[in-house]
Structure 1
Amino acid sequence: MERGYVQIYTGDGKGKTTAAVGLSVRAALAGEKVFIGQFIKGMKYSELSLPNYIDRIVIEQFGRRCFIKNNPESQDLEAARNGLARAREIIIGREFGVVVLDEIFIAHYYRLISTEDIRRLISSKPEETELVLTGRKAPSEILDEADLVTEMKEIKHYYSAGVQAREGIEY
């Protein structure tokens, strides 16, 4: 790519990670190398199998077994800090044309990383790298710095009818 942009997928609706994974597949099929770093997540998600099918995609998780439901623990902070350092290394290294930092805004919401941490990642982005940031509760200061912002808004969801998360659809 001649020029990469900063994209944000945020909001309370379903589809933020799904959109980022779809973009990743499209980019990889067009010849780009893609790095997906998942903050907070440590459980098995279907997208973790992507590198088995598309060798241009690398996925790493920066979380523990469970998604944070209450107050984060010291291990959550350590995982997020390690993820932040790895993300910085990946961005500066210029090996990947697309870098996705999934759930980075949830890590921010739980105060595991700061707004300034995210700003530094954005400012370290090489001109040709596409940077995709996802998660609920994206801070307005970061939205202002993005080139593209999509807000997923829940209108209706089958969870409210008691449907549990389904493999391959929600995870």
Structure 2
Amino acid sequence: MEKGYIHIYTGNGKGKTTAAIGLAIRACMAGERVFIGQFIKGMKYSEQALSNYIDGITIEQFGRKCFIRENPEVEDLEAARTGLARSRDVLRSERFGVVILDEIFIACHYRLVTVEDITKLFEMKPANVELVLTGRNAPAEIFEKADLVTEMREIKHYYHRGVEARKGIEY
């Protein structure tokens, strides 16, 4: 890639991770190598199988379990710190044309990573790497540092009618 940009996908609507995965597939089909680091996720998600089907996609998880309705534990902080260190290493390596940090804003919301941590990732991003960050509650103060900010806004969702997350659709 000649020039890489910084994308933010945030908001309360569905589709942030899905958009990032779509971008990952498109980039791979164009010959780019893609790294997807999933913060706070430790459960099995269908997209983890991508690397079995598409060469050039690497997915790693930096989480243990879903704690969204609880408080994170020390192990959650450690997992996020491991993810942050790995993200820095991946950016420094320049082995990947696209780096996706999925749910990093949820990790920030729960104070597992800081706004300063994220800003430092922006600063160390090589010029030719596309950096995509996802998650609800992206801090507004980093919007000006990004090149693209998309907010997914929920208008209607079947979850409110009691429909649980479905394999292949939500996970």
Range of TM-score over shorter length:
over 0.9
In 2, Cα distance between equivalents of 1:55 and 1:32: 10
SS in structure 1 at match of 2:58: strand
- Structure 1 residue aligned with 2:37: 37
Q: Secondary structure at the match of 1:37?
A: strand
Corresponding residue of 2:73: 73
How do residues 6-155 of structure 1 correspond to structure 2 at under 5 angstroms? 6-155=6-155
User: What is the CA-CA distance between 1:68 and the residue it aligns to?
Assistant: 3.4
**Aligned positions, number:** 171
Aligned alpha-carbon RMSD (Å): 0.7
Q: Distance in 1 between matches of 2:158 and 2:166?
A: 11
State the secondary structure of the residue aligned to 2:145: coil
How much does 1:157 deviate? Answer: 0.3
- Report the Cα offset of residue 67 of structure 1: 4.1
Instruction: Tell me the secondary structure at the aligned position of residue 62 of structure 2.
Output: strand
Moved over 2 A (4+): 65-69
1:82/1:46 CA distance change after superposition, 3 Å: same
Q: Deviations over 1:58-110 (max 9, x none)?
A: 00000003343211100000000000000000001100000000000000000
Amino acid at match of 2:132: V
Secondary structure of the structure 1 residue equivalent to 2:106: helix
Could you say which residue in structure 1 is the equivalent of 2:166? Answer: 166
TM-score (norm 2): 0.98
Q: Is the 8 A contact 1:41 1:64 kept in 2?
A: yes
- Unpaired runs of at least 5, structure 1: none
* TM-score, with length taken from structure 1: 0.98
